[in-house]
């Protein structure tokens, strides 16, 4: 009984103290005013940003080809038949990747085909398929960051039998191989191999060995973010996609004549356009030096989910070997101007992404 009396007394005293604290707090707010909106924003600014910090892009070449085929085929069919659903290739790949933890084992191609058939016939929706998949959203965002500018609508010049060209509207692969059509090269999957110049580091790109002067092609439309000398990459170009998610790095360009002459920082380029020439510059603090033993193009693809990742310890570079194989489907045909020594694409292309970017920039 005594214990209960003591407990009641303690609760009563605590209640009085809480009431006193409440009175003091309210008095202070009335005197000084409630926190301003700017203060709330400032506190919020210190909260950790949530964005993807790592991506392993392990999508196989065969899976890329199969998903792409379904996307293009169903796009055309859906235009003619409302009973057909257009299947998005990135969603297909993200669904398959989420099922297998980012890997694409044997049987993935067949699995992609069966899933696409069900989606096409509207037997099921992607939302229904993925409603209980914990990591689908992650793979969809990651794979969209990699492949977001590769497929879509565009216009391109096509040759006619009479020797002239005409503009044709198309849907499909509008990204290009980084090596011009007709120029030989050899490569292998060298992502992550050791490099020792300057400091020990992994190789965060893909090397394509070829001949000095081979025209280098813009893989995707974008704008020139970096141009000039880098002691590791020699004469190099950095091109950013319009959505800001992809940074294409082209390195070891030709001595004395590395770039197309009209390129500068801020220049807008269209996929398939000649941007520079293969060489073996680099590994020197002195400009215009050939210290790379083997002539090759090093191209890399950096993913950027937050600007803090652009340069620093949180950079995300992906293995481009299977992407390079996939892009071989679309090689830009070029011709040389004998007077200027420049190479140019033979068939011009109109990319809606370019027109949208230029229009927005001019506003």
Cα–Cα nearest to 249, from 274, 230, 273, 268: 230
Whether residues 308 and 355 fall in one domain: yes
CA-wise closest residue to 189 among 93, 323, 279: 323
* CB-side neighbour CA atoms (13 Å) of 129: 20
Rounded-to-integer distance, Cα 252 and Cα 282, Å: 6
Residue 142 lies in a domain: yes
Q: Is residue 165 one of the residues assigned to a domain?
A: no
Span 135-144, average pLDDT: 98
Buried b (16+ CB within 10 A) or exposed e, 326-344: bbeebbbebeeeeeeebbe
Last residue of a domain, one of 147, 164, 193: 147
Say if residue 258 is in the same domain as residue 353: yes
What confidence score (pLDDT) does residue 7 get? 39
pLDDT of 344 > 70? The answer is yes
Residue 114's domain comprises: 61-147
End-of-domain residue from the set 131, 147, 163: 147
Write down the pLDDT at residue 48: 66
**Pair 207, 120 in one domain:** no
Note whether residue 38 is domain-resident: no
**Contact call for residues 70 and 77 (beta carbons, < 8 A):** no
Nearest-angstrom CA–CA distance, 6 and 338:
102
Residue 303 domain flag: yes
What CA–CA distance (Å, rounded) separates 334 from 273?
A: 9
How much is the pLDDT for 8? 40
Same domain assignment for residues 116 and 207: no
**Residue 83 in domain:** yes
Residue 218 belongs to some domain of the structure: yes
305: Cβ contacts below 8 Å, ≥ 6 apart:
51, 52, 53, 141, 145, 245, 316
Separation of alpha carbons 333 and 216, rounded Å:
11
Do residues 181 and 343 touch, judged by C-beta distance below 8 A? no
Inter-helix orientation angle 89-99/136-147, to 10°? 140
Top-confidence residue, 273 or 311? 273
Same domain, 195 and 77: no
**pLDDT at residue 111 tops 80:** yes
Answer yes or no: do 193 and 308 share one domain.
Answer: yes
Q: What CATH number corresponds to the domain at position 236?
A: 2.70.70.10
Q: Which of 241, 284, 235, 285 is nearest to 255 (CA)?
A: 235
Percent of the chain with pLDDT over 70: 86
In a domain, 5, yes or no: no
Residue listed under structure tokens 């039998």: 161
Q: Is the pLDDT of residue 171 over 80?
A: yes
222 and 102 share one domain: no
What string of DSSP letters covers 115-155? HHHHHHTTSS-HHHHHTT-TTHHHHHHHHHHHHTTTEEEEE
Sign, Cα dihedral of 70, 167, 351, 298: positive
- Max distance between CA atoms of the chain, in angstroms, equals 110
Determine phi and psi for 340, rounding to 5 degrees.
-90, -15
* 186-223 residue pLDDT tens: 999 998 887 767 666 788 999 999 999 999 999 999 99
327 belongs to a structural domain: yes
Chain center to CA of 276: 21
Tens-place pLDDT, residues 3-43: 333 334 444 444 544 444 454 444 444 444 434 333 333 33
The tens digit of pLDDT for each residue in 84-95 reads 999 999 999 999
What pTM does this model have?
Answer: 0.85
DSSP 60: -
Residues 106, 221, single domain; the answer is no
Please compute the mean of the pLDDT values over residues 327-345 and round it to a whole number: 97
- What pLDDT shows up at residue 27? 47
**What sign has the CA pseudo-torsion 257, 235, 233, 58?**
negative
Six-digit token string for 99: 């099922």
The structure tokens 């659903």 sit at: 85
Q: How far apart are CA 104 and CA 83, in angstroms?
A: 30
Do 239 and 353 share a domain, yes or no? yes
Residue ranges of alpha helices (H) inside the chain are 2-32, 37-45, 61-80, 89-99, 108-120, 126-130, 136-147, 321-327, 352-362
How far CA 186 is from CA of 45, 190, 209, 211, 298, in Å, comes to 49, 12, 5, 10, 12
Q: Is pLDDT at 128 greater than 80 in this prediction?
A: yes
- Looking at the structure, tell me whether residues 110 and 250 fall in a common domain: no
Looking at residue 203, its pLDDT comes to: 87
Domain boundary among 147, 163, 189: 147
Number of structural domains the chain divides into? 2
Both 133 and 245 in one domain: the answer is no
Question: Is 101 found in the same domain as 197?
Answer: no
Give the phi and the psi of residue 93 in degrees, each rounded to 5: -70, -40
């Amino acid at each position: 009984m005594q214990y209960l009396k003591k407990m009641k007394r303690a609760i009563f005293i605590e209640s009085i103290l809480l009431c006193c604290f409440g009175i003091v707090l309210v008095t202070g707010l009335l005197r000084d005013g409630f926190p301003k909106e700017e203060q709330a924003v400032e506190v919020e600014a210190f909260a950790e940003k949530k964005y993807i910090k790592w991506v392993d892009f392990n999508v196989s070449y065969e899976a890329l080809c199969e998903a792409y085929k379904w996307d293009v085929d169903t796009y055309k069919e859906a235009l003619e038949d409302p009973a057909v659903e257009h299947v998005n290739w990135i969603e297909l790949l993200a669904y398959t990747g989420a099922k297998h933890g980012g890997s694409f084992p044997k049987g993935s191609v067949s699995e992609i085909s069966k899933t696409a058939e069900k989606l096409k016939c509207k037997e099921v929706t992607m939302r229904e398929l993925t409603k209980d998949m914990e990591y689908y959203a992650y793979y969809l965002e990651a794979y969209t960051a990699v492949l977001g500018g590769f497929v879509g609508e565009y216009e391109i010049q096509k040759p006619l039998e009479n020797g002239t060209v005409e503009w044709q509207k198309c849907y499909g692969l509008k990204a290009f191989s980084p090596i011009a059509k007709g120029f030989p090269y050899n490569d292998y999957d060298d992502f992550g191999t050791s490099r020792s110049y300057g400091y020990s580091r992994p190789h965060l790109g893909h090397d394509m060995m070829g001949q000095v002067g081979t025209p280098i092609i813009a893989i995707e439309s974008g704008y020139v973010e970096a141009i000039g000398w880098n002691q590791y990459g020699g004469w190099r170009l950095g091109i950013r996609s319009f959505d800001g998610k992809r940074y294409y790095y082209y390195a070891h360009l030709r001595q004395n004549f590395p770039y197309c002459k009209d390129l500068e920082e801020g220049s807008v380029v269209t996929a398939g356009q000649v941007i520079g020439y293969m060489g073996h510059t680099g590994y020197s603090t002195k400009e215009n030096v050939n210290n790379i033993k083997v002539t090759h193009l090093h191209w890399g693809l950096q993913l950027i989910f937050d600007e803090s990742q652009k340069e620093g310890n949180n950079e995300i570079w992906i293995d481009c070997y299977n992407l390079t194989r996939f892009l071989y489907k679309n090689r830009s045909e070029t011709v040389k101007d004998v007077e200027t020594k420049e190479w140019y694409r033979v068939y011009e292309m109109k990319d809606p992404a370019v027109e949208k970017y230029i229009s927005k920039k001019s506003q």
